[in-house]
Amino acid sequence: MKKKLDWNKILRYLSGDCTPEEEIEITEWMSSSPENEEFMIFLETIWQMEPTDQKKIDEIAAWERFNRRFQIDETEGEPGYGKKSEQPIFTFGKPVKLKSLNWISLAGVAASLLVALLISFQIFNISEEAENVAAFNEIEYREIQTERGERSKITLSDGSIIHLNGESHLKIPHTLSRTELNRVYLEGEAFFEIIRNERVTFQVITDETVTTVLGTRFNVRNYREDDEVTVVVADGRVSFGYLNGSSTEPAILTKNQKGVIGNGAAPRITEVKDLSVYHGWIDGKLIFEQEPLSQMINKLERWFGIDIELVNANNEIAGKQLTATFSERQPVEDIMQSISLALDLSIDRSDTSENRYKLINQ
């Protein structure tokens, strides 16, 4: 017995947007008879016509000719089956149904009817894509920059929140899209609290990576001195991968996972036991866990807006690892004293007029 022909599935099949299940269904329908296969080949030929050729056809006139010739009646069955149908076969201005036609008749009219339908479908898609590209290019951005020792909290128009760490630069749209794609551009470090919206994709772009989310809380770090980009997820789920032209598949990160990528290498994913090591800065805490002194110095300089110089230091001293927690309310002098005692270093602050500290290896 012949199966009902679903034109919505046919359109998705021809445009390459059908599901695997729909593709199997249509393939089976084509294989059920030579007539079905011949008709589908005919439709594919029309679909593959060049747009410049398609536009030469007056689809309205073609539809009117089809209407006059086959006397469209809203009470009749669908083509080829001679049975009544509950759903309209085509919607072109208003719902219509076709009188019973054999496959030869249907193939004869498809050049007018289907071309009219598919032209409208394709031209609409092309126009919509062009409008989307133009709209994206016309997006107005505002830029937010923090200095060393400074942090900022930004609330977006949808209620989402971005915490921007010191010495960072963020570019965000003046107005967020409610239906498509929102992109922000980051250099430095930021913690994102993005409100979930199934209709909108939110992306964080760095110089070589893109992090894609629907709704989640996560941290992105990409300072100039960093060789790699690090993303740590507090809640939700993100896709994390290269921005352009990479054959490396994006990684999927979930709660308590860290992803690190850079230099074209595949993403490395690890579990995070203590999220505060990566997210504590938004609560005013600077937390180090087995962190080399050289990296600690970069973070302390950015956090407190100071300069720290290692004097007579070798690779061994610079690579010494410390575990410590500091608060933004602690005096810088106390913090520097703690570090110097832990590593048997001395401090030189001969010039107190500047925020400069020297850690000297004895």
**Which stretches in the chain have pLDDT values below 70?**
1-7, 35, 38, 42, 44-138, 245-246, 351-353
- Are 148 and 260 in the same domain? yes
- Are 303 and 262 in the same domain? no
Find, among 202, 170, 165, the residue nearest to 186 by Cα. Answer: 170
* pLDDT tens-digit series, residues 32-59: 777 677 677 767 666 655 444 444 445 4
What's the pLDDT at 284?
Answer: 92
What's the pLDDT at 318?
Answer: 83
- Are 233 and 292 in the same domain? no
The CATH code of the domain that includes 344 is 3.55.50.30
Please check whether residue 270 is in contact with residue 227, taking contact to mean a CB–CB distance below 8 angstroms. Answer: no
Which residues contact residue 91 at a Cβ distance below 8 angstroms, ignoring those fewer than 6 apart? none
Residue 268 lies in a domain: yes
Q: Is the dihedral of CA 319, 323, 327, 331 positive or negative?
A: negative
- Are 330 and 214 in the same domain? no
Name the domain boundary from 137, 166, 183. Answer: 137
What's the pLDDT at 93?
Answer: 35
Neighbours of 194 (CB within 10 A): 24
Residue 292 lies in a domain: yes
What's the pLDDT at 176?
Answer: 85
What's the pLDDT at 108?
Answer: 44
> The tokens of 318 are what?
């610079």
Residue 1 lies in a domain: no
Count of H helices and E strands in the chain? Answer: 10, 20
Range of the domain at 315: 284-361
- Are 168 and 230 in the same domain? yes
- Are 289 and 266 in the same domain? no
Residue 202 lies in a domain: yes
Residue 131 lies in a domain: yes
Report the distance separating Cα 248 and Cα 262, nearest Å.
11
Name the domain boundary from 226, 256, 274. Answer: 274
Total structural domains in the chain?
A: 3
The CATH code of the domain that includes 243 is 2.60.120.1440
What's the pLDDT at 119?
Answer: 46
- Residue type at 10 in one-letter notation: I
> The tokens of 145 are what?
């920059």
pTM of the entire predicted model: 0.60
Name the domain boundary from 214, 246, 274. Answer: 274
What's the pLDDT at 158?
Answer: 87
